[in-house]
Amino acid sequence: MSSVTHFRYEIVRTFRNRIFYAVTLALPLVLFYAVASGQRTATQDGISFPLYFMTAMAVYGAMFAAVSPGARIARDRTGGWTRQVRITPLRARTDIAAKVITAYLIALPSVVLVFLAGVSLGVRLDATQWLELGGLLLAGLTPFVALGILLGYLLRADTLTPVIGGVVVLFALVGGVYGFQLAHSGPLFDVMKAIPSYWLVQAGKTALGGGGWPAQGWIVIAAWTAVLVAAATLAYRRPAARG
């Protein structure tokens, strides 16, 4: 009994879904060039617009990658395969771990491609700053991975697609992913600072300055992760009833 086969086939399944994979990689790149090409000298939120928007688009692609296992979970559940697997000795944690790893395996190339696109439009960071930026993005994705798994175990496949798309777009909007921020002070700004995607988008600025997120950023990411992981665990434990 080994988990290697399960991990391998989980990855194989993801990459055989070519259209999904191609769109996940291409969408942030297309948006990045479409918007940032004309604003290479502009600034946003105190940093160069290309750096801001490169980070934002890396976040955008990575968020879609992070929640993507949810769609597979919902399809397997709706089709009845989940019931089949639950009468085998496969442990839940192995299954979930495989889903988490594939989420990151999709997110990582998407982030790297957007970084390369950023460089092509003049974004310059030193090696430490690139690593810090990449590291913050991957760390800040954890609540979104948990969110995908939660929704996958809660919703049927046909309802999941619009819900998950809507939720990601909402997080993107509030987090400032679309190249503008909804507020710079006041109660709405406080709400933004309680949302993980805000801190993800801020990672560009943070990496430029060095030193990582302030405590509030880490607390927001950790709290969302803890709550969503707990909820996903509960959703997983619901009996796998028919239909």
Residues near other proteins (CB under 8 A) are: 1-6, 9, 12-14, 16-17, 72, 75-76, 79-81, 83-91, 239-243
Nearest to 50 by CA among 118, 149, 128: 118
Q: Which CB atom, from 41 or from 88, has the smaller least distance to other proteins?
A: 88
As measured in angstroms, the least distance from the Cβ of 74 to other proteins is 12
The least distance separating other proteins from the CB of residue 193, rounded to whole angstroms, comes to 40
Q: How far is CA 236 from CA 53, 75, 93, 206, 241, in A?
A: 36, 14, 11, 36, 12
What is the closest distance, in whole angstroms, from the C-beta atom of residue 237 to other proteins in the complex?
Answer: 11
Q: Of 243, 236, 242, 241, nearest to 90 (Cα)?
A: 236
Element (H, E) at 227: helix 215-237
Q: Which is nearer to other proteins, 89 or 187 (CB)?
A: 89
Q: Is the dihedral of CA 188, 189, 195, 200 positive or negative?
A: positive
Token pair, residue 140, equals: 């800040």
Q: Residue 163 CB, nearest distance to other proteins (Å)?
A: 20
Query: From the CB of 155, what's the least distance to other proteins, in Å?
Result: 17
